[in-house]
Copies of this chain bind each other. A is one copy, B any other.
Amino acid sequence: MKEIRNKDGLTEKEFLAQYKPGDYKRPSVTTDVLMIGMNENYTKMKILLIKRGNHPFMGCWALPGGFVNENETAHQAAARELEEETGLSGVYLDQVYTFSKPGRDPRTWVITIAYLALISELQEVKGLDDAEDAAWFDLKFTEEEIKISSEEKAVNIVYNLKKEVFYNGVLRYENYIPTLKSQDALAFDHVEIIIEALKKLRRQIKYSSEAFCLVDETFTLPELQAVYETVLGQKLYKKSFRDMISEHVVETGEERSSRTPNGRRCKEYRFKREE
């Protein structure tokens, strides 16, 4: 059965034994991870950036990431990088998009597979390896602009967003194109990666359960609603939200105050798995 011979008269086994990869050029393949958490009272999204310690974009802030090795999947590579940089494992990690625009890395040909990671608690981070520094940044994402800032690091990165129309088959699509407005900038095409990852998160959080990755194991409904509102960038009606979410949560039986001052104590909930 496996004795089929090709035009050079080789069987599959013989073919593989003599196979030599051609000398056409190959790209480096990396993963970049947008890691998202929330601040203490769920009013802001926080993202993890590292400060580049070498050229190119030396001194600029960038997404953590690294090369994919031959003996691992891109998903494993992203998880490994994340664990190396933050000590976290078992976090939510989802492939977003693969970026391959020529020239996106001035050194050489690099294709990057972007991942979105969600965590419920911000860990202390410090720069390791090539990174001169690492920190959690505030993220603001609206129709008009994307703003990434850290008071502690005295960094303020702002891009204006303009909608651009393109066609895919007969369908019309809109895309954000960012224009740098601040002194500080992100390295490479990392703004675009962040934008795509945020768009994906917003699309998914409504119909899936990603939000539960951003809160503690137990949470109150006002806290959970705050997560949705912050991620989506819009207010939600309390009753509608609770109706929508009710089938995915169960009461723990406990009560406690929410992460906001004042007011009545809340029931505590836990995520309810399907089936």
Contact = CB atoms under 8 A, between A and B. Distances in A.
Interface of A: 4, 6-7, 10-12, 15-16, 19, 21, 24-29, 53-56, 58-59, 67-68, 70-75, 90-95, 97-98, 100-102, 106-109, 111, 113, 118, 168-172, 208-210, 212-213, 217, 271, 273-274
A267 to B, nearest CB: 19
Given A19-B107, A29-B111, A169-B213, A12 B93 contact: no
A150 to B, nearest CB: 20
Nearest to A97: B95
A239 to B, nearest CB: 24
A247 to B, nearest CB: 15
Given A11-B55, A25-B70, 18 more contacts: A4-B58, A6-B53, A10-B55, A15-B54, A15-B55, A15-B56, A16-B106, A21-B28, A24-B67, A68-B111, A74-B100, A92-B171, A93-B169, A95-B98, A169-B213, A170-B271, A171-B213, A172-B274
Tallying the copies of this chain within the complex gives: 2
A29 to B, nearest CB: 5
Contact of A169 (B10, B91, B169): B91
Nearest to A106: B16
